Amino acid sequence: MTAAPAAWPDDERWMREALAEAREAAGRGEVPVGAVVVRDGEIVGRGSNQPIARHDPTAHAEIMALRDAAARVGNYRLDDCSVYVTLEPCAMCAGALLHARVARVVWGASEPKTGAGGSVLDLFAEQRLNHHTCVRHGVLAEAASRQLADFFAQRRSEQRAAAHPLRDDALRTPESCLAPDAGSTWYSDLPALQGLRLHVWDSAVQQAPASPRTWLLLHGSPAHGALFRRLTPLLAAQGDRVLVPDWLGFGRSDKPKKEGALTDARHLAVIEELLDRLGVARSHTVVTAHGDAARLALALQPERLWLINPALQASAACREWLAGMARKPQWDIAASLPADGALGEDFAQWQAQFPDKGYRAGLRAWVAAQARWLDAPAAPAGAAQLLVSWPEHPQWWPAAPGALPPAARQHRVPGGDWLPLQAPAPLAHEALAYFDMPKP
């Protein structure tokens, strides 16, 4: 393989853009590979894998990105550009990159079956060719590999499910197990759902929004959307729209029986498709995540991000809980959480969403993904506005102010690990002021 030059300071930034393109491909049912073309610090071309949708065997991410860039700059030569792609290029794409005369090629995961950057052959190191380019490999390789692994695990699970479909009542927690919830909406026709039903609490059911601002509240484990039941009315009272989805595998959303059907890639695709369906403007959306939902909120790369008790690191007790939930299919959730008498009813509801161990595939998949993420957490970066609310008395997720960019707004709130229930008023006060937007 061609010797890799020293890392450029923005390599990870641009690779995250390529990973976002790959997520879009996964949401369409294509193998998740994404690419971007960068010139002078700006993206001039984007592409994602789409040979299935286009009925085109050449529609690989790199090819689509090169076509986009060439059209934008008005030249088929891209000799002052760098290309970032999540997977090692195949021979076709490596040839196209060389023909385009790109200055630099950076990729994430290796491709042991078709890779033409050193895994199977190395076209970039072929001295007989009349053009050569610099290459760097392994940038965010773990994230890129995880995207691919999650996608193929989901595909295998869907194939098994199609062969042995489940009844609706086997997928859904009986309503009698959960507290009443005015404001429920349901979606089952988003492509990433594959026919499953997603539950979303939407303030617009009860009151038409009078503000352009939308709050997307993402619960972590082992809770469901009712974690925000005391916070949502404070946000909606401003005329804002508030959306609280239950992740697949949690709350009132369907609960597939196989962990492979409940990957982070699928969760992210569902959220993106939901926002598109509702016509929610990303620039006016505050993505809000509690606890270990931070990893998914960060992957969404929002412009406005609010992290509450973010699980950027975990205490020994939390790691022990993650391991226990992964290996004990009937572990009592309420009894396993740090004692808090004031939240006993809420803890009981989190237990009630899983009537028996057959409903817990989503929880097992979630805690496994969180344990992997904690080994190499992504630093919060890229949001134009970032608010972080730390509890004064955490047990599971200790504060990690050093992991945040200097521009982040940080504040402390009285309470422990479940701030949306313990301190909704100070949370809402700080967030409404920080994410203030002009009224229409």
**Angstrom distance (rounded) from CA 411 to CA 402:** 13
Q: Return the DSSP state at 117.
A: B
Asked if 313 and 378 count as a contact pair (C-beta separation under 8 A), the reply is no
Active site residue 62: yes
Q: Which residues of 59-96 are buried (b: 16+ CB within 10 A; e: fewer)?
A: bbbbbbbbbbbbeebeeeebeebbbbbbbbbbeebbeb
- Let me know the angle formed at the C-alpha of 182 by 179 and 183, rounded to the nearest 5 degrees: 130
Catalytic residue among 62, 88, 259, 272: 62
Mutual orientation of helices 61-73 and 91-99 as an angle, nearest 10°? 20
Which residue is associated with the tokens 């790691």?
319
**In terms of Cα–Cα distance, which of 194, 200, 216, 329 is closest to 265?**
194
Q: Are 87 and 116 in contact (CB under 8 A)?
A: no
Would you list the DSSP string of 134-184? EEEE-TTHHHHHHHHHHHHHHHHHHHHHHHSPPPHHHHS--GGGS---TTE
Q: Which residues are designated catalytic?
A: 62
